[in-house]
Structure 1
Amino acid sequence: MEVLPDLIEKDIGITIRQCEILGPLGLIVQGILGVMSLSSLLIKRYMERPQRPWNIWFLDTSKQVFSAGLVHCLNMVLSTLLSESSVTDNCEWYFINFAVDVGIGTILCFVIIKSIEAFAAVNGIDALNTGVYVHEDYSHPENVNLEPTEQETGHIIDYRIWGLQLFVWTCVVLIVKISLFFTVKIFSPIFEDLADFCLGWLKQFPDLKLVFIMILIPITLNVIQFWIQDNILKGKKENILKFIHSPYHERCHTPQVPPKFLSRSSNLDRMSRKEERKLSISEYCT
């Protein structure tokens, strides 16, 4: 009996306007979302201690803004494609893709980036030390500046390092996004039921649904995601220490006295100190 309303609407020619993310209101809402998301990163920089210089903050943020814009465009295209083969409109599919990206995608990106950093530290690929855009001689730890916010002191920013890190981060985000898309497509009936449960009450209000999906939900989840990813992408002391104490750079350190000669050298030092004391006593007595 519940299908009758739909049949009646078809027979009498009534159409219910669906939520469209690519309509005029959708584009305005997306612009507002972009401004709000970037503003959250400005607030984060204002609150952090020590505070990153503007150029370092811009290099860190630009990686996330580029990848976020790319994923946003992909979400709109994929949401439209998914909605064409189902009764769920593209706003609901955008909500599904966005929620999956924030909930699962952020965790996967974190794991992959940390794995890349560990691989880079072991193999001495210093350019993949995330958030550090200068050349450091990690084989001489005494000369390394452990504070990433002061990495410009005595150095010149190498934008090729930034370009490499931007490329790596974008590839990570795209791999995660494509993997999650196929996951959503395979289990689409489950995600459709979940979206209908969360957003079914907004079907009669497409404009309100658009604002709810494109502003109220993203402004909360996006701020959380942007802040977490900013912590992933900016330089950190612990990352620099990992590169300094990695097996690759420890082999480049100044050679130390082998353990088997350590006792002999210490004995020689003690004997020389005894001779010096005897000489000083004899000189005093005379």
Structure 2
Amino acid sequence: MSHLFEGRGNCKVLCGVQGILAQLALMFVAAMCLALKRHYERPKRSARIWLMDVSKQAFSAGVAHLSGMVWAIIISSHTAVEGSQCAWYLLVFFVDTTIGVTVALALHKCFVKLACDRSHTGKCDASGDDSTFVAALKVTTESVSRCGEYGDPPSALIWLPQMIEWTLCTLVGRIFSGGLVAVAAPLFAALASGMDTLFTSDIAELWTVMVLGPLSMNLVQVVVQDAVLKWNSRRAESSDCFDGHGSDMEDFASPYSRLLGA
């Protein structure tokens, strides 16, 4: 199995301290971008709501990052293609930023619409405490359908289904992007190999691929995702998704509390 981690080039996505520092730098810049956006947004979200919104991106970004590295290692290890792991990581990242994010957002919209429809029709309604599973399913449905709303006061039990749903959407988008690049690897091979020739140092290529390259794409990506994942009060006022079903999200969290023994 060790040959899967060798690749064809010299730059590797997992290369000790430099690799870790580069990835931490990318995370820091993305977080600063979101913090700057929050500073100028009006109306401004509370710190707790903002942290809940951002944490959904943090979890999904971590999963997507690991998926991207796995794809880069697998593709670069194939004997029929050229290019280092770093070059293939950047290619997968680029495809994910353009196509994968579109897939993730479309899937997210479908999940929210489905949850909204089920809540509106009462298909997840649970009378009494007869079925804890059905009650918990209702909590999940209501939570996903009200993306960015966490109750008053904000509850982690309402945030959790939203985080899982968005992470799943992001993972599907990254898997789709990586698979697309893998299938078309012979077509991208010359481009990947060409990227490697631009650098005389593996460390320079690593930092370019992990920080400078994704930076410009991440600046757009995290802002777009944040706009989608946060709760828009105007959207809440114009939505009839919850007519007759109430809007007090803290009431929906009680089945989860029972499941956790709270």
- TM-score, scaled relative to structure 1: 0.69
Q: Which residue identity does 2:175 align to in structure 1?
A: I
Q: 1:236 aligns to what? A: 232
Q: Retained in 2: the 8 A contact 1:121–1:242?
A: no
Q: 1:130 aligns to what? A: 147
CA shift in 2, pair 1:242/1:17, >3 Å: same
Whole-angstrom CA distance in 1 between matches of 2:112 and 2:93: 27
Deviation at 1:81, TM superposition (A): 1.7
**Aligned mate of 2:98, from 91, 100, 103:** 103
Larger radius of gyration: 1
Q: 1:176 aligns to what? A: 173
**Aligned mate of 1:84, from 66, 77, 85:** 77
Q: Which residue identity does 2:212 align to in structure 1?
A: L
1:164 aligns with 2:157: no
Q: Which residue identity does 2:179 align to in structure 1?
A: F
Whole-angstrom CA distance in 1 between matches of 2:20 and 2:101: 25
Q: Retained in 2: the 8 A contact 1:17–1:206?
A: no
List runs of 5+ in structure 2 lacking aligned partners. 1-7, 120-140, 247-262
Whole-angstrom CA distance in 2 between matches of 1:200 and 1:185: 18
Secondary structure, aligned partner of 2:243? helix
Q: 1:137 aligns to what? A: none
Q: Retained in 2: the 8 A contact 1:127–1:164?
A: yes
1:225 aligns with 2:241: no
Q: Retained in 1: the 8 A contact 2:83–2:196?
A: no
Deviation at 1:238, TM superposition (A): 4.2
Alignment of 1:1-286 (within 5 A): 18-23=10-15, 24-85=17-78, 86-124=81-119, 125-128=141-144, 129-134=146-151, 155-197=152-194, 199-241=195-237, 243=239, 245-246=240-241, 249=243
Cα deviations by residue, 1:217-265 (Å, 9 ceiling, x for unpaired): 111111111111101110013431454x24x62699xxxxxxxxxxxxx
Whole-angstrom CA distance in 1 between matches of 2:73 and 2:245: 54
Q: Which residue identity does 2:64 align to in structure 1?
A: V
- TM-score, scaled relative to structure 2: 0.75
Whole-angstrom CA distance in 2 between matches of 1:60 and 1:232: 10
Deviation at 1:175, TM superposition (A): 1.6
CA shift in 2, pair 1:242/1:171, >3 Å: farther
Q: Which residue identity does 1:54 align to in structure 2?
A: A
Cα deviations by residue, 1:123-170 (Å, 9 ceiling, x for unpaired): 224311110011xxxxxxxxxxxxxxxxxxxx3223211001011111
Whole-angstrom CA distance in 2 between matches of 1:43 and 1:251: 37
List runs of 5+ in structure 1 lacking aligned partners. 1-15, 135-154, 253-286
Deviation at 1:102, TM superposition (A): 0.9
Q: Retained in 1: the 8 A contact 2:30–2:219?
A: yes
Deviation at 1:111, TM superposition (A): 1.5
Q: Retained in 2: the 8 A contact 1:21–1:27?
A: no
Aligned residues: 214
Whole-angstrom CA distance in 1 between matches of 2:212 and 2:193: 18
Identical amino acids, percent of aligned pairs: 29
